[in-house]
């Protein structure tokens, strides 16, 4: 009897295992077909392994000698600044490696409250709230703030995290054409029937290096009784006379209601969601990915920040920002508030690169921003030029679909204050040489 039951169980298990293996084989076939289509389109993205700390000069696995890095969002060079590193080490030693908890349980330390207060002072706002990443800040804001009675009006090229954050809320959604103020006004007129109206835009758009016309956006918002939200991830620390961002650059600090930004770029390079273009959202699920250990924040009215502490899901369900990241970011803000010399240096070097590249015959998107997209159009061309640039000691990356629209492939060069003039000149020389080799220049 017992042997019969064992035999019966073995026989019934065999079809289940066969079906599972068949399903796995089917999955493998689908995945390989999709991967091969990516390779065939010339949009395959390989990860280059850096074997040194982040900075203007790095070492890359498989590449001989030192490499000049023109890829990082390390706009002010603070990720390798000795005072920032020492601050992180001191904080790590005093407060530990992590909190092992979310903020409202037992994950709030005095350094978190101090950094939030410092962020609010820096942006001249009432209060601020920290998140593991700016992706989380964008995921948490709209759902907590807006209801089905409200409306949100979003630039069509806003970052994926803004797009996904808006998807999570129940507000009525309007998308206006990129930087098109006539279209925004038409959408605002249409949205007058809703309780709250929130205009959402990136301050500086990370793929094209262009800047939102905040003066006009704020004028329209005032005319139609709307609020203004700006994501300043590619502006905080270096745009504006003292690095406060695009609202300072364009003179509307008192008219922007809410600012989200990151600690993961100019403010020391703490980890967090990397900000790619809006098409990145095609591959994200309904609940966005949560960055590990990095740093993002919302700053604005005190009552809004209090509401986010009660209702923002990424804040309530994510572990606290690690002490070392807090210490680094706090020191980075101190350095910025003491002097704007680093900001001025970066602006001068950005102008040097842009003017030389345009004089050589390249098309550089955007204006006066250290994101300098070298527009090439063809994905395979961008990939090949980037590979040949690495052979000449220059680290740049080609961007293609789905990160940018089809036909808009480019190499995104990013200038840092810690690049020397010689670094920039060498980069331009390599672009000219490789561009001629591949027919991108005559």
SS (H, E, C) 272-309: CCCCCCHHHHHHCCCCCCCCCCCEEEEEECHHHHHHHH
For residue 395, list its beta bridge partners: 69
**Catalytic residue, candidates 133, 161, 206, 281:** 206
User: What is the Cα–Cα distance from 204 to 212, expressed in whole angstroms?
Assistant: 6
First to last CA, the chain: 86
- Contact of 376 with 435, CB cutoff 8 Å: no
Residue 128: partners with Cβ closer than 8 Å, 6 or more residues away: 116, 117, 119, 120, 297, 298, 299, 305
pTM, two decimal places? 0.85
Omega cis (within 30) before 437: no
Q: What is the mean pLDDT of residues 166-193?
A: 98
Tokens in use for 44?
A: 């395959």
Q: Which of the following is catalytic: 265, 331, 369, 419?
A: 265
45 labelled catalytic: no
From 159, 194, 234, 369, the catalytic residue:
234
Residue 115: pLDDT band with limits 50, 70, 90: very high
pLDDT at 207: 86
Residue-level pLDDT at 9 = 60
Is 206 catalytic? The answer is: yes
Helix (H, G, I), strand (E, B) or coil at 335: helix
| pLDDT tens digits, one per residue of 41-93 | 777 777 888 888 888 999 988 888 889 999 988 899 898 899 999 999 999 99
330 catalytic? Reply is no
């Amino acid at each position: 009897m017992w042997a019969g039951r064992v035999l019966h169980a073995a026989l019934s298990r065999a079809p289940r295992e066969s079906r599972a293996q068949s399903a796995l084989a089917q999955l493998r076939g689908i995945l390989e077909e999709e991967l091969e289509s990516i390779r065939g389109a010339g949009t395959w993205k390989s990860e280059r392994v850096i074997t040194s700390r982040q900075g203007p000069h790095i070492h890359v696995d498989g590449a001989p000698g030192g490499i000049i890095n023109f890829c990082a969002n390390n706009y002010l060079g603070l990720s390798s600044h000795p005072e920032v590193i020492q601050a992180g080490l001191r904080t790590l030693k005093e407060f530990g490696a992590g909190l092992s908890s979310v903020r409202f349980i037992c994950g709030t330390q005095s350094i978190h409250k101090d950094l939030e207060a410092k962020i609010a002072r820096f942006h001249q706002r009432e209060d601020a709230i920290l998140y593991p990443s700016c992706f989380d800040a964008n995921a948490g804001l709209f759902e907590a703030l807006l209801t089905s009675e409200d409306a949100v009006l979003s630039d069509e090229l806003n970052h994926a995290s803004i797009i996904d954050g808006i998807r999570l809320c129940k507000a009525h959604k309007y998308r206006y054409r990129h930087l098109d103020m006539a279209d925004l006004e038409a959408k605002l007129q249409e949205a007058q029937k809703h309780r709250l109206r929130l205009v959402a835009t990136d301050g500086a758009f990370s793929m094209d290096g262009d800047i939102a016309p905040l003066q006009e956006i704020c004028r329209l918002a005032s005319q139609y009784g709307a609020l203004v939200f700006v994501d300043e991830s590619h502006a905080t620390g270096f745009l504006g006379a003292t690095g406060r961002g695009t609202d300072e650059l364009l003179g509307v600090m008192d008219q922007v209601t809410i600012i989200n930004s990151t600690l993961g770029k100019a403010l020391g390079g703490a980890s967090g969601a990397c900000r790619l273009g809006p098409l990145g959202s095609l591959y994200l699920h309904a609940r966005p990915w949560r960055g590990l250990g990095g740093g993002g924040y919302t700053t604005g009215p005190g009552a809004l920040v209090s509401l986010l502490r009660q209702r923002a899901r990424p804040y309530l369900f994510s572990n606290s920002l690690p002490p070392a990241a807090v210490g680094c970011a706090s020191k980075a803000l101190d350095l910025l508030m003491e002097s704007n010399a680093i900001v001025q240096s970066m602006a001068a070097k950005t102008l040097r690169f842009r003017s030389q590249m345009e004089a050589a015959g390249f098309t550089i998107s955007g204006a006066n921003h250290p994101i300098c997209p070298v527009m090439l159009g063809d994905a395979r061309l961008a990939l090949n030029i980037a590979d040949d640039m690495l052979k000449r000691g220059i680290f740049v990356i080609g961007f293609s679909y789905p990160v940018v629209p089809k036909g808009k492939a480019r190499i995104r060069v990013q200038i840092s204050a810690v690049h020397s003039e010689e670094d920039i000149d060498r980069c331009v020389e390599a672009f000219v040489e490789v561009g001629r080799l591949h027919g991108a220049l005559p």
